[in-house]
Amino acid sequence: MRQLILAADLGATKILTAVLDSSGRILIQEKSPTPYDQEPVKVLEQICASLLGLQQQVGQEGDRVMGAAAAVPGPLSFPAAVMLDSPNLGWKEVPVRDIMTEGLGMPVIVEKDTNMAALGAYYFGSTPFSPNLIYITVSTGVGGGLILDGRLYRGQAGGAGEIGHMVVERNGPVCGCGRRGCLEAVAAGRVLARRVEQMRAGGWGADMDLGPGPWGARELGEAARRGDRAALAVVRETTQFLGQAIANLVNLFNPQLVVLGGSVAQGWRDLISSSLDEQVRSLAFPLNARDLRIEFTDLGEAIGLLGCLAAVLHKERGPGIN
């Protein structure tokens, strides 16, 4: 008898829905762009409809659905799973769990996307069950999830892990959260184009062959590999900001593993991995850096779905879900 899990990952740019089996195999998956012209309730209902449709397509006689889980952007209040005021989606006070539980007709575990990804890395990463693990995504935005002593750490109200809003540049650029100088305001995918403009305005762009844009992480990465000075400068500066933030986390939490994911981090892996490692080690306490490994996840965009699976499988027994 197959045990099936329904999983959804709602991101700022795309929505993934999938049916997985209990071994972590994705049996069927659907991807669609995140709509910004619809009410949150409608978007969540569409996610539920997609999940039920996928289940119908892949289902066989005798299958049992073990449960459903969804990864959604924060801030997400805990334990109510209400999305409070998401700077990435522009949603306010959305009771995600209630809406999805009604839409699917079964209980749904709802967790902040970066926490789900941390669970994915913890259970399905290259070094499973590393008890002290920090997951960091550098994508459209920057976020994180903390596994401390083998448990997901949510903090008092559910707000832990907001690594993207650590201040790394006092009086720096305005962030989506309304404050200034957050890591996300200087290192996220969505601010790369603005930073290229600034480089050009500052005289860096004379020999740039980037073309008219728009520039995303991929275009900048390609230009940096060709030796473009402005692109290299943006990549280097991003690495420094990330390194500074990670070193602060390493000094605070002494993790064994820092796992990087997200389209920017993964797309730039060859460009930043060794310099990021150097940066962090030069800024962290030697004791804290002694056992530290910084990895780029191989789970790709499935990491959130695998986290959803882990959340369902381990909700009653394993560490990580409490």
Contact residues: Zn ion, CB under 5 A: 165, 175, 177, 179, 182
Cis peptide before 35 (omega within 30 of 0): no
CB of 265 to Zn ion, least distance (A): 18
If the CB atoms of residues 99 and 245 are measured against Zn ion, the closer one turns out to be 245
Q: Are 57 and 49 in contact (CB under 8 A)?
A: no
Least distance to Zn ion, CB of residue 142, Å: 9
Q: How far is the CB of 174 from Zn ion (least distance, A)?
A: 9
Q: Are 69 and 309 in contact (CB under 8 A)?
A: yes
- Where does 133-263 show beta strands of DSSP type E? 133-138, 142-148, 151-153, 257-261
Q: Which is nearer to Zn ion, 96 or 142 (CB)?
A: 142
CB of 148 or CB of 167, closer to Zn ion: 167
In the chain, DSSP assigns E strands to 3-10, 14-21, 26-33, 64-72, 76-77, 82-85, 92-94, 108-112, 133-138, 142-148, 151-153, 257-261, 293-296
Three-class DSSP category at 305: helix
Phi, psi angles (nearest 5°) of residue 117:
-65, -40
Cβ nearer to Zn ion, comparing 179 with 236? 179
CB of 25 to Zn ion, least distance (A): 37
Tokens of 201: 């305005």
Which CB sits closer to Zn ion, 7 or 185? 185
List Cβ neighbours of 158 (8 Å cut-off, separation of 6 or more). 74, 75, 76, 77, 78, 79, 112
| Separation CA 208–CA 224 (nearest Å) | 10
Q: How far is the CB of 87 from Zn ion (least distance, A)?
A: 7
Closest CA relative to residue 279, chosen from 269, 264, 289, 265: 289
Compute the distance between CA of residue 16 and CA of residue 8 in angstroms, rounded to an integer.
6
Q: Between 152 and 175, name the residue whose CB sits nearer to Zn ion.
A: 175
State in angstroms the smallest separation of the CB of 113 from Zn ion: 16
Given the structure tokens 């910004």, which residue do they identify? Answer: 36
Q: How far is the CB of 168 from Zn ion (least distance, A)?
A: 10
Select 177 or 208, whichever has its Cβ closest to Zn ion.
177
